């Protein structure tokens, strides 16, 4: 019997995502001027206020207020009527020095033996149902909001949009886990004030269905396009009016959208957030490395779907466990336990090795903080940072390195595929 599966996404203007983006902007600035920085910073945003807190061990000094304001303005909170804008909001910093008790367990004389920044388990997932090896419901949820943000910035076809938005997509699957059709699409988008509520709702629903949806469909592969049909149930701004939004409508905190950041409820999650953490924190770096493993296993043809788990003890370099679950889709004559042993030998999962392999000591994190950390396209680009003393760093970076399919041949060799 067929079944339904749902995933959601939130826009860059969602209050929790505003907080994530500020935290990751701080990470990038610290790493740009001191790549050895150890940072764990949290952000709270609410009506007219930003609160920064956390622990930092770094040789550099930053103007954290300016960084926060620049992020807020870039997102689009630039008007006083939003009750939260980058030029006028208060920014309070309670960032302080990292505990030496933690740092001594991470920093070692031999960099290769750098200990894990915390205990815990992390997961990576991949599936062949999309070209980027991501679950389809989450991929479509992200795409809807990315396109909605483009429409907002164009300020032409849908000129009344404001930054805060959420999406949700429900897909019908067959018994053998193949997507059959889009069942339901939910979109809630913040908007300017209208003169008349009923006309407002009709206008927003019409614009979303007739302008946004066709733009999203046009950018999809043919096999995904055919899943859209005239029987889709749409819930557009189902609560009605959505003028009050963003941090004025709801307090935002770093790390509250961990399922949006990963796989939309598919696979599993270890519970640790990513944003605001430097790569010595395995919550972030090992989750990226696990995704890298999972994606390359599926792309190499080892299996159709896979979940990779890794776990650590704080201050210890070697993982306490590595486990691979292929959900019965393996194409090789090996148990999942045997596959796990080979993967353990093929991928060095010590924290320092992950940092080096995926180039995680570079300022690459701001782009991860909205529309998912996984399933994105790696790019090489030049980034520029300026410190309060006027010094400037320009650096070539490679983003989303954990999405590279650079281990396919090694996987094929290791498993005789």
303 and 399 share a domain? Answer: yes
Exposure b/e, 365-404, CB count within 10 A at least 16 = b: bbbbbbbbbbbbeeeeeebebeeeeeeeeeeebebbbbbe
% of the chain with per-residue pLDDT over 70? 97
284 and 403 share a domain? Answer: yes
Give bridge partners of residue 94 from the DSSP assignment.
53
**pLDDT reading at 245 higher than 60:** yes
124 and 153 share a domain? Answer: no
Q: Extract the annotated binding site for K(+).
A: 42
**pLDDT reading at 112 higher than 80:** no
204 and 296 share a domain? Answer: no
In a domain, 84, yes or no: no
Q: Extract the annotated binding site for ATP.
A: 14, 164-166, 241-242, 250, 256-257, 273, 277
In a domain, 372, yes or no: yes
Q: Quote the number of domains for the chain.
A: 2
In a domain, 311, yes or no: yes
148 and 218 share a domain? Answer: yes
pLDDT in tens, 96-106: 986 565 555 56
**pLDDT reading at 88 higher than 90:** yes
% of the chain with per-residue pLDDT over 90? 92
How many CB atoms are closer than 10 A to CB 157?
12
pLDDT in tens, 355-385: 999 999 999 999 999 999 999 999 999 999 9
pLDDT given at position 111: 76
pLDDT in tens, 311-347: 999 999 999 999 999 999 999 999 999 999 999 999 9
124 and 144 share a domain? Answer: no
Q: Extract the annotated binding site for L-methionine.
A: 55, 98, 250, 281
236 and 354 share a domain? Answer: no
What does the pLDDT average to over 97-117? 67
In a domain, 140, yes or no: yes
CATH number for position 372: 3.30.300.10
**pLDDT reading at 229 higher than 70:** yes
**Sorting pLDDT into bands at 50, 70 and 90, what band is 2?**
very high
164 and 215 share a domain? Answer: yes
Q: Extract the annotated binding site.
A: 14, 16, 42, 55, 98, 164-166, 241-242, 250, 256-257, 273, 277, 281
Tokens 């009923």 sit on residue: 198
In a domain, 87, yes or no: no
Note down the domain range covering 124.
120-128+280-415
Environment class of 310 (CB within 10 Å of its CB; exposed 0-12, middle 13-18, buried 19+) = buried
309 and 382 share a domain? Answer: yes
158 and 177 share a domain? Answer: yes
pLDDT given at position 185: 98
Task: Report d(CA 344, CA 324) in Å as an integer.
Answer: 10
Please, what is the average pLDDT of the chain? 95
Helices (H), 168-281: 197-207, 213-218, 222-225, 246-249, 258-261
Q: Extract the annotated binding site for Mg(2+).
A: 16
């Amino acid at each position: 019997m067929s079944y339904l599966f749902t995933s959601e996404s939130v826009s860059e203007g969602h209050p929790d995502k505003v907080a994530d983006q500020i935290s990751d902007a701080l990470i990038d600035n610290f790493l740009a001027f001191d790549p050895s920085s150890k940072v764990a910073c949290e952000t709270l945003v609410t009506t007219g206020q930003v609160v920064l807190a956390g622990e930092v061990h770094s040789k550099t000094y930053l103007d954290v207020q300016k960084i926060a304001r620049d992020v807020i303005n870039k997102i689009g909170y630039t008007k006083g009527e939003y009750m939260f804008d980058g030029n006028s909001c208060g920014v309070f910093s309670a960032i302080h020095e990292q505990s030496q008790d933690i740092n001594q367990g991470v920093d070692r004389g031999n960099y290769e033996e750098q200990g894990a920044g915390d205990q815990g388990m992390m997961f990576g997932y991949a599936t062949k149902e999309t070209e980027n090896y991501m679950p389809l419901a989450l991929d479509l949820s992200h795409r809807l909001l990315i396109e909605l943000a483009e429409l907002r910035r164009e300020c032409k076809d849908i000129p009344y949009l404001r930054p805060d938005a959420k999406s949700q997509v429900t897909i019908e699957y067959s018994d053998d886990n193949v997507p059959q059709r889009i069942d339901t699409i939910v979109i809630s988008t913040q908007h300017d004030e209208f003169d008349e509520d009923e006309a407002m709702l009709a206008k927003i629903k019409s614009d979303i269905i007739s302008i946004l949806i066709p733009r999203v469909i046009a950018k999809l592969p043919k096999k995904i396009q055919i899943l859209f049909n005239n029987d889709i149930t749409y819930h557009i701004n189902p609560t009605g009016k959505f003028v009050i939004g963003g941090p004025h409508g709801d307090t935002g905190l770093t790390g509250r959208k961990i399922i949006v950041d990963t796989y939309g409820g598919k696979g599993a999650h270890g519970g640790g957030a990513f944003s605001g953490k430097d790569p010595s924190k395995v919550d972030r770096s090992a989750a990226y490395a696990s995704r890298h493993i999972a994606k390359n296993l599926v792309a190499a043809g080892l299996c159709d779907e896979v979940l990779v788990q890794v776990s650590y003890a704080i201050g210890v370099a070697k993982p306490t466990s590595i486990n691979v679950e292929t959900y019965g889709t393996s194409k090789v004559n090996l148990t999942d336990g045997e596959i796990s042993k080979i993967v353990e030998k093929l991928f060095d999962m010590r924290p320092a090795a992950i940092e080096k392999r995926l180039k995680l000591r570079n300022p690459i994190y701001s782009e991860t903080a909205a529309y998912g950390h996984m399933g994105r396209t790696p790019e090489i680009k030049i980034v520029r940072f300026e410190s309060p003393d006027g010094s400037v760093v320009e650096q070539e970076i490679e983003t989303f390195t954990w999405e590279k399919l650079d281990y396919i041949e090694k996987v094929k060799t290791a498993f005789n595929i």
